[in-house]
Chain A
Amino acid sequence: MATVTTPAPASDTSAWSRWANDHRKWLFAAPAMAFVAALIVFPLAWTVYLSLTDAEGSVRAESEFIGFKNYLDVLSDTDRFWPAVARTVSFTGIALLFEVVAGMGIALLLWRPFRGERWVRVAILMPLVATPVAVGMMWRLIFDPNIGMANQLLGWVGIGPQPWLAGKASALPTTIFIDIWQWTPMVALILLAGLTSLSDEPQEAALIDGASTWQRFRHVTLPLVMPTVIVAVLLRGIDALKTFDILYATKGKGGGSFHEVETLNVYAYGLSFDYNEYGVSSTVLIIFFLIIIGLMWALTARRKKEAQR
């Protein structure tokens, strides 16, 4: 930059301000970095340490270093751990699939301007900003087997009452539904931002070539918006894996009496704060964290490949 040589005005040439000016890069970034380091890096290191101990009970209790015993125990636990992994995977996978498909549908509906657009956008923003715990309670009332609106609606079309959140098999799908209700708008808004940033020319060219609506979507729009789809999957996927609020709000401790909705996050939370099994919970968390990092890494690699095409 040529401007660097410009002399600073006399009022601003104290030694401190010159030093600050020269070191502004780190002066600006350091406080935030220090905060993150203190609250994340150090605690994470401690979690790794705890996962190698038999810490339990009180936080002031003595704990012993036991090596990888927790890891062996957790990885061979087919009673709680692996079912929790399976639930986490199906919760995230199914929710993501529906959210991306429905989100794309909504984004396409909103793509071209229309009258009342503002109000539609406000409406779809509502589930997304609503407090998840309140959302959980709201659906608890709607899905209540005896007094809920859901069974009443089913009754009107001649279908018998369902147990919804109270059922052993239906609880997880019901919470997936709640997640889809709350987060499809998020995916829709991200995809809409992607669609809006596309230029019109490829669409017009395809139209002139006589491509049908489906062909235009499949072969023009979708490939162009694919990088945004991957961002949406990435952002939503991370949060879906970590879903806690609606699960804890609708089913309480341990993901219900049969652990119907106990995902890894709920399992780890329960181990830590309902049962004070700090050592084992840290092990579960480290494994969980590694899974998330792995998935993220895979998706980011995919996104880079997509961006290069």
Chain B
Amino acid sequence: MKTRTPYRVFRVVALVVVVLSMVAPLLWMVAASFKTNVDIYDSSKALAFSPTLENYTKVLQQANYVQFIGNSLWVAFAATVLSLILGVPAAYSMSRFSMKKSALVVLMARVIPGVSLLVPWYYVFSNLRMVGGFTVLILSHMFVSLPLIVYIMMGFFDGLPMELEEAALVDGLTHIGAFRRITLPLSMPGIATAGILSFIFSWNNFMFALVLSGADTKTLPVAIFDFVGYASIDWGGLMAAATVVTLPIMLIALFVQKYVVSGLTAGATKG
């Protein structure tokens, strides 16, 4: 379809406005993380400031952030891998055998407010003296990851033609063999999408870790939250901490954009 020139000009202007309004606040956060607190308070130094790494050294060395980064990585990684192990075969079964009711049960987890599960979890796990350990934290994050993975993978398996599996059966493979040797290798793009999304959501999760993590298992979002609440806010340090948690995720999104978008929009166009 041909587009007229005035529309093209409008479109470029509108796109620039959209991009700026999305990116400018984030750039502002990153800029502030390289400023001293004196410069943050001085509006004449909004853009012209001499960058300093002081905030980062403070956050990484004094405030234990290296450990929190490790905690976040471990929890997100473990929750994602375990959810994939449980979720991919389940999604396969639910897709191939149209187990609509079972799928609904798993997907309910996406709808339930997390707090309503946190209360009983907290009851059980604090009586078992497990609150503050990694096990509970990883389990709680799987509650977010598993439904997401089942949802994305069901859509993926729905779109995967059965012919190849049937051919494998003719060639003498068992059903499980066909799943392992034919379907799984073909599903790698779907598994990558589901895994990346699950990792991002787990990395960003705040509420579960806020209740269930302890001093040694604290994840980054909780660590950032703990940064405030004292007398006056150390803005430079806070922005450095916020950048430390956000940057890795933004880099993932930058490099595997296609997977992230297809995961986020999974199931959106089905009837």
Contacts and interface: CB of A to CB of B under 8 A. Distances in A.
A and B bound? yes
A162 interface: no
Secondary structure at chain B's binding surface: helix, strand, loop or mixed? helix
A122 B253 contact: yes
Interface in A188-231: 189-190, 192-194, 197, 200, 203-204, 207, 227-228, 231
Contacts, number: 308
A44 B112 CA distance: 9
Contacts of B268: 190, 193-194, 228, 231-232, 235
A189 B264 CA distance: 8
B157 to A, nearest CB: 11
B124 to A, nearest CB: 8
B214 to A, nearest CB: 14
A85 B179 CA distance: 48
A289 B108 CA distance: 11
Contacts of B250: 126, 129-130
Interface string A24-49: 11111101110111011111101100
Contact of A33 (B18, B90, B172, B253): B90
Contact of A137 (B11, B41, B108, B228): B228
Contacts of B126: 59
Interface residues of A, number: 109
Contact of B15 (A28, A120, A133, A204): A120
Contact of A242 (B113, B169, B200): B113
A36 B176 CA distance: 24
Given A139-B25, A268-B116, A292-B111, A3 B170 contact: yes
A123 B127 contact: no
B178 to A, nearest CB: 10
A8 B174 contact: yes
Secondary structure at chain A's binding surface: helix, strand, loop or mixed? helix
Interface in A130-185: 130-135, 137-142, 147, 149, 152, 181, 185
A138 B28 contact: yes
A40 B117 contact: yes
B230 interface: no
Of the listed residues B142, B228, B246, the one surrounded by the most CB atoms of chain A closer than 10 A to its CB is: B246
Nearest to B30: A138
Given A50-B120, A126-B253, A138 B109 contact: no
B172 A9 contact: yes
A269 B115 contact: yes
Contacts of B235: 141, 147
A147 B43 contact: yes
Nearest to A246: B206
Contacts of B146: 32, 35-36
B143 interface: yes
A35 B86 contact: yes
Contacts of B229: 252
A137 B150 contact: no
Contact of B203 (A121, A128, A131): A131
B8 to A, nearest CB: 9
B95 to A, nearest CB: 10
A119 to B, nearest CB: 8
A9 B168 CA distance: 12
A9 B174 CA distance: 8
A9 B114 CA distance: 48
A268 B113 contact: yes
Contact of A227 (B15, B29, B150, B271): B271
A193 B169 contact: no
A8 to B, nearest CB: 5
Contact of B111 (A9, A125, A293): A293
A6 interface: yes
B221 A131 contact: yes
A59 B117 CA distance: 15
Nearest to B121: A43
Contacts of B221: 131-134, 245
A141 B224 CA distance: 14
Contacts of A141: 28-29, 32, 40, 235, 238-239
Interface stretch (A71-79, A89-97, A254-262, A277-285): A277-285
Contact of A130 (B26, B117, B139, B238): B26
A29 B269 contact: no
B267 A265 contact: no
Given A12-B174, A17-B176, A35-B142, A125 B25 contact: no
B26 A127 contact: yes
Given A3-B170, A285-B113, A142 B28 contact: yes
B118 interface: yes
B132 interface: no
29 contacts: A8-B174, A12-B174, A25-B93, A28-B89, A29-B93, A31-B86, A35-B142, A36-B108, A36-B147, A40-B109, A40-B112, A50-B119, A105-B14, A109-B11, A118-B257, A122-B253, A125-B260, A127-B25, A130-B249, A134-B241, A140-B233, A181-B21, A189-B261, A193-B268, A232-B268, A238-B110, A248-B225, A252-B229, A278-B119
Given A39-B143, A131-B224, 5 more contacts: A1-B166, A9-B173, A59-B123, A138-B26, A248-B225
The 5 nearest A-B residue pairs measured at CB: A32-B90, A43-B120, A134-B242, A28-B89, A28-B93
